[in-house]
Amino acid sequence: MRRIDTSERPMPEINPAKVCFVIEKAREMLSGDAGVAPDASNPSDDGEGIASTDADNAIRREFVEFIRDLDVDEAAALVALVWIGRGDFEADDWKSAVAAAVERHEGPTWKYLLGMPLLPDYLQDALSAFGRSCEDYELGDEYE
């Protein structure tokens, strides 16, 4: 397993394109939660409700699998970024935030992140704190 040289530039543990992918998927999941107000139609005659649910499940599954595929350092960096974006740490405290995230043993990272309705905002704020933005990255195969 790859280990991180903590003397490198800030935020070396995770590719910002991966963070942007997580932001995109989290936003897609949140937008699916809003849904459409129920109407008088019959859901069994109306394929839209089923399609929407299937799409939401596919997005959630893709999110979970992506987070599960991160290595230990990347998962800790992602949690550290959330904490920085939430205001628990400052960007200057990057090493401390990562160390605290490594020590966090509260269950799977994907489950922890799914419980945060403001996840995409926290991650975007954290990237901004490091002078980065998802506008700098085209989402695609480069996060692989």
Q: What is the mean pLDDT of the chain?
A: 80
* 141, burial (CB in 10 Å: exposed 0-12, middle 13-18, buried 19+): exposed
Whole-number pLDDT of residue 38: 46
Residue 20 predicted with pLDDT over 60:
yes
Residue 40 has pLDDT above 90, yes or no: no
CA 11, 73, 121, 141: dihedral to nearest 10 degrees?
90
Residue type, 21: F
Please report the pLDDT score of residue 37 as a whole number. Answer: 44
pLDDT digits (tens, 9 = 90+) for 58-111: 999 999 999 999 999 999 999 999 999 999 999 999 999 999 999 986 789 999
Burial 22-59 (b: 16+ CB within 10 A, else e): bbebbebbeebeeeeeeeeeeeeeeeeeeeeeeebeeb
pLDDT value at residue 10: 64
Length of the chain: 144
The predicted pLDDT at position 140 comes to 52
Calculate what percentage of the chain has a pLDDT beyond 90.
58
Question: Which pLDDT score, from 0 to 100, does residue 8 have?
Answer: 39
Q: Where is average pLDDT lowest: 9-13, 65-69, 134-138?
A: 9-13
Average pLDDT of span 104-131: 92
